[in-house]
Structure 1
């Protein structure tokens, strides 16, 4: 049953898009599932890479800490069928470049032994092609995120996030988590959310938000 579930997840993972199920079956046999609670770490920055992590259920935040150890920057959030910090798995004697923690309880993760993944991918042209295409897409996404953080005002970044996540409604993460995702501090996130609420762009009840004026949010997001 575990192998069947693992194969189904691998077949639908963007990492292996276009690959043949038969090529993935040997990896599925090696997979194990594990549950994580909110805030529990899959791994920490600097640890050696021994397993490949694929989200089955829930979500995972990948983040870096500033030199002081207090400021966080969320690099990305991975949901079901997404790989977590996967590029490190294809580097020899690699260490994880960031921390990864579960955002929901439970978050279910499929893990695979990294050396077996490397060997299978490198020896199977269809898998190698799929993996290369996946990492090319992720590089483009990372460049877009860097552009947002560097060249877009906080209001635009928050508007873009709300449009992506909050339709029709969405439970916001904490202001600290949202600040880490948007590259700012919690106080400014709270202030900007309050501004959007007073302007009638969103409705908020506790941490649940609903977009009321998508057109204006889109204008802000475009700068």
Structure 2
């Protein structure tokens, strides 16, 4: 089994599909390597390719009016589709921008038209894709709910618990702000507050959680 077929077989979007259904897609695949900060596509561009992350991670975001702030919709890691729903539409246009978060980030590229034909004509593939899109929709709704109804301290505490139980290189404050739906200045202030409260150890951009119980309490929105 070649690398493209292996990646497709283990991708959640095709979970449950048979290898013989994926083999024709793997034969058409190519790989693209991105550097940190390099765009895979930008909002409004024609989208004629299905992208599946092989390694690294891709941040999908939209610009606020005026282009002064970014809102991160989700971050896709290995075996995840990038803007997959849009790619399954004919004459698709990218609903958001996608940029690599790491160097290197590698993505598998498939012609969208061929993918649509195979999925629409193969019941097992169609069932797998629909189930995957339903899961992603639920995840996006949960994220939007968190951005709207929780405070920054809750969102940052949850992020740190998920990503920094071991020493972890933080994104820049601008990238963190985009992930958390705020501005860099407030992220910097809140990180400093967590540091002074001994909830985290922070040296340069390396952070590690030192009081997970208290961070968990904050992430749940609990107050003294």
TM-score (norm 2): 0.97
| Aligned mates of 2:17, 2:165 — CA distance in 1 | 32
Deviation at 1:159, TM superposition (A): 0.4
Where does residue 139 of structure 2 map in the other structure?
Answer: 141
Where does residue 123 of structure 1 map in the other structure?
Answer: 121
| Aligned mates of 1:167, 1:137 — CA distance in 2 | 26
Matches within 5 A, 1:22-37: 22-37=20-35
* CA deviation profile, 1:74-130 (whole Å, cap 9, x unmatched): 111111111101100111211000000111111111000000000000011011000
Out of 61, 80, 88, the residue aligned to residue 59 of structure 2 is 61
Out of 101, 109, 113, the residue aligned to residue 99 of structure 2 is 101
Where does residue 163 of structure 2 map in the other structure?
Answer: 165
Out of 63, 76, 79, the residue aligned to residue 78 of structure 1 is 76
What RMSD over aligned residues (CA atoms) do the two structures have, in Å? 0.9
Where does residue 185 of structure 1 map in the other structure?
Answer: 183
SS in 1 for 2:2: helix
Structure 2: where are the runs of 5+ without partners? none
Where does residue 153 of structure 1 map in the other structure?
Answer: 151
SS in 1 for 2:37: coil
| Aligned mates of 1:178, 1:189 — CA distance in 2 | 7
Matches within 5 A, 1:205-220: 205-220=203-218
Deviation at 1:168, TM superposition (A): 1.5
| Aligned mates of 1:5, 1:98 — CA distance in 2 | 28
* CA deviation profile, 1:161-217 (whole Å, cap 9, x unmatched): 111111212111000000011000000000000000010110011111101111111
| Aligned mates of 1:20, 1:173 — CA distance in 2 | 38
| Aligned mates of 2:80, 2:147 — CA distance in 1 | 23
| Aligned mates of 2:165, 2:104 — CA distance in 1 | 23
Deviation >6 Å, runs of 4+: none
Number of positions where the alignment pairs a residue of Structure 1 with one of Structure 2: 221
Where does residue 42 of structure 1 map in the other structure?
Answer: 40
SS in 1 for 2:67: coil
